[in-house]
Copies of this chain bind each other. A is one copy, B any other.
Amino acid sequence: MIQAGIFGVTGYTGYELVRILAKHPDVQVQFATSQSFAGKWLTDVYPQAPHLPLIDEANAPLETVDVVFLCLPHAAAAATAVRALNAGCKVIDLSADFRLHDPAVYAQWYGQEHPAPELLETAVYGLTEWARERLPGADLVAVPGCYPTSVLLGLRPLLAANIPLTGPIIADSKSGVSGAGRQASDTTHFMNVADNFAPYKIGRAHRHLPEMEQVMKWWKADAPPLIFSPHLLPVPRGILSTIYVTIAGDWALGDVAALYTEMYAGEPFVCVLPPGQAPTLAHVTHTNNCVIGVTQAGQTLIITSAIDNLIKGAAGQAVQDMNVMFRLDETTGLR
Contacts and interface: CB of A to CB of B under 8 A. Distances in A.
B197 A194 contact: no
Contacts of A244: 170, 172, 227, 244
A200 B295 CA distance: 11
B231 A174 contact: yes
Contacts of A299: 168
Most buried by B among A203, A240, A293: A203
A297 B172 contact: no
5 contacts: A48-B282, A182-B189, A197-B235, A227-B300, A231-B242
A297 B191 contact: no
B184 A48 contact: no
A297 B234 contact: no
A164 interface: no
Given A189-B184, A189-B188, A195-B285, A298 B204 contact: yes
A304 interface: yes
A235 B174 CA distance: 14
A136 interface: no
A331 interface: no
Interface in A189-211: 189-200, 202-204
Interface of A: 12, 47-48, 166-168, 170, 172, 174, 177-178, 182, 184-186, 188-200, 202-204, 225, 227, 229, 231, 233-238, 240, 242, 244, 246, 278-287, 291, 293, 295-300, 302, 304
Contact of A281 (B184, B196, B285): B196
B298 A227 contact: yes
Given A188-B191, A190-B190, A202-B278, A197 B233 contact: yes
Contacts of A166: 167
Contacts of A48: 282-284, 287
A237 B286 CA distance: 15
A199 to B, nearest CB: 4
A118 to B, nearest CB: 33
A296 B198 CA distance: 18
Contact of A197 (B190, B238, B297): B238
B281 A236 contact: no
A188 to B, nearest CB: 5
A269 to B, nearest CB: 13
A244 B293 CA distance: 21
Contacts of A192: 282
A40 to B, nearest CB: 14
Contacts of A170: 170, 244, 300
